[in-house]
Structure 1
Amino acid sequence: MKLSVIILFLLCSVSHSLSAQNEEEGIFTATLLAGANFSQIDGDEDAAYSKVGFNGGARGGVRFGDRMELCTEILFSQKGSYIKSLNKTYHLDYIEVPVLFYYKDWEAADKNNRKYMRVMVGGGFSYSRLLNSATKQYGTTLEDGQPGYANFLSNDLMFMLDANIFFTRNWGINVRWARSLLTIVEKPIRQNISYAINRSIILRVLFRF
């Protein structure tokens, strides 16, 4: 985790320096991201992406030619699920470190004739560390040992697919789908279901330096 933070900081610093010196895209890229998770937990009592939470942070990338880029991110990500029929919420706060590989297309130029790619699509994996969890029902926070309480694991490994569309050289939107590869609970949330996994659809605004 500490190594990823250091690498991302260095990538952002170098990218900012290069962009100030070069009108074209540099080898390194840096991006700020902010938006929302629409989440659910497979294995609870509901199947809708009805839990809304914040997702935001920074992305650093290394370009391989004009068409490919390897990126890592440092994110604060709020996940969980909301079960309307039971008025029950599982709230999960994570620090997340995705690593993704992108293919880029649709070359464009800004008003200063600087070239950039409008579309980035890719996929990868993400490691998440749980910071905080809470289970609430009818407005009351459930404690460990109470019926309906869930013990969540500290670590989560996810697979993700990702798409970015840039409307200008700097501004764009991001859509991401992510799914846990392993269960995220110590004990099943529901009877006869041995697992529980995070699923999220993420929508974010991007600012690329």
Structure 2
Amino acid sequence: MPVFVKRLQFPLLVIILFIGTVAKAQENTPMYEDRTFYGGLILGANLTQIDGDNFAGYTRKGLNAGGIVFFKMDEHIAASIEVLISQKGSVSKSPQLLAAGYYITKYGADLTYGEIPVMINYYDDHKNHFGGGLSYSRLGSSNEYISTNPPPTTPFKQEDYPFKKSDFNLLLGGNLHLYKGFFLNLRFQYSLISIRNTVPNITRGAQFNNLWTIRLMYLFL
């Protein structure tokens, strides 16, 4: 089984359990029977890491905010499109010894994207929904800092190894209906192509955005 597929197995299981825990406890309310389009606002946080650097863990926290529009396609199926500000990146929590013979004592990468996710969602009879899709992100700003001991012979310059301007992601997500127009959203996403190629003596290989998102969504019903 491909490594990428294996990485999606656990997030998919978490999202299914996330939806299933409360579905039976909610009222039976059909999904917006008289509406074709409906929209809302989103505010939450990304918990992110960059696969391919020398640090593990979803240690970088960032903003995830914007708007969403749903298009009802069938009784239980709706497409959605979002326009978001999404902050991603990585930050170190402990020194890391590299093969080059020095420690990275401090590292961080702060990436801010404009992002457009498109998803197909399945609704149950309680307004809970889950789905999958793709997103396109455009890098608006990036800031990277690194400290090593001892200092490298050739100082690292971010401009010599820029992050790519475009990021394409696979998305898996679920929404729990809380009250009236309020939903709690959990989402996993992963870069389909690398956001930067290998940086000699700094990264383990090509780099990929890897993140969980927790958000509150309000739909105008």
Please report the TM-score for the alignment, with normalisation by the length of structure 1: 0.76
Q: Who is 2:211 aligned against?
A: 200
1:148-174 superposed Cα distances (whole Å, 9 cap, x missing partner):
735200000000101001112201110
CA distance in 1, matches of 2:142, 2:211: 17
Q: Who is 2:26 aligned against?
A: none
Q: Which runs of 5+ in 1 are unaligned?
A: 1-22, 108-116, 139-144
1:35-114 → structure 2 map (5 Å cutoff):
35-85=44-94, 86-107=105-126
- Note if contact 2:198-2:204 (Cα within 8 Å) is conserved in structure 1: no
CA distance in 2, matches of 1:151, 1:45: 18
Between stretches 86-95 and 147-156, larger displacement belongs to 147-156
1:108-167 superposed Cα distances (whole Å, 9 cap, x missing partner):
xxxxxxxxx1x11000000000000001236xxxxxx84273520000000010100111
User: Amino acid of the residue matched to residue 85 of structure 2?
Assistant: F
Question: Higher strand fraction: Structure 1 or Structure 2?
Answer: 1
CA distance in 1, matches of 2:43, 2:79: 20
CA distance in 2, matches of 1:191, 1:207: 42
1:3-42 → structure 2 map (5 Å cutoff):
25-42=34-51
Q: Who is 1:129 aligned against?
A: 138
Aligned CA RMSD, in angstroms, stands at: 1.9
CA distance in 2, matches of 1:99, 1:24: 22
Compared CA separation, residues 31 and 192, structure 1 to 2 (3 A): closer
How many residues align structurally?
A: 171
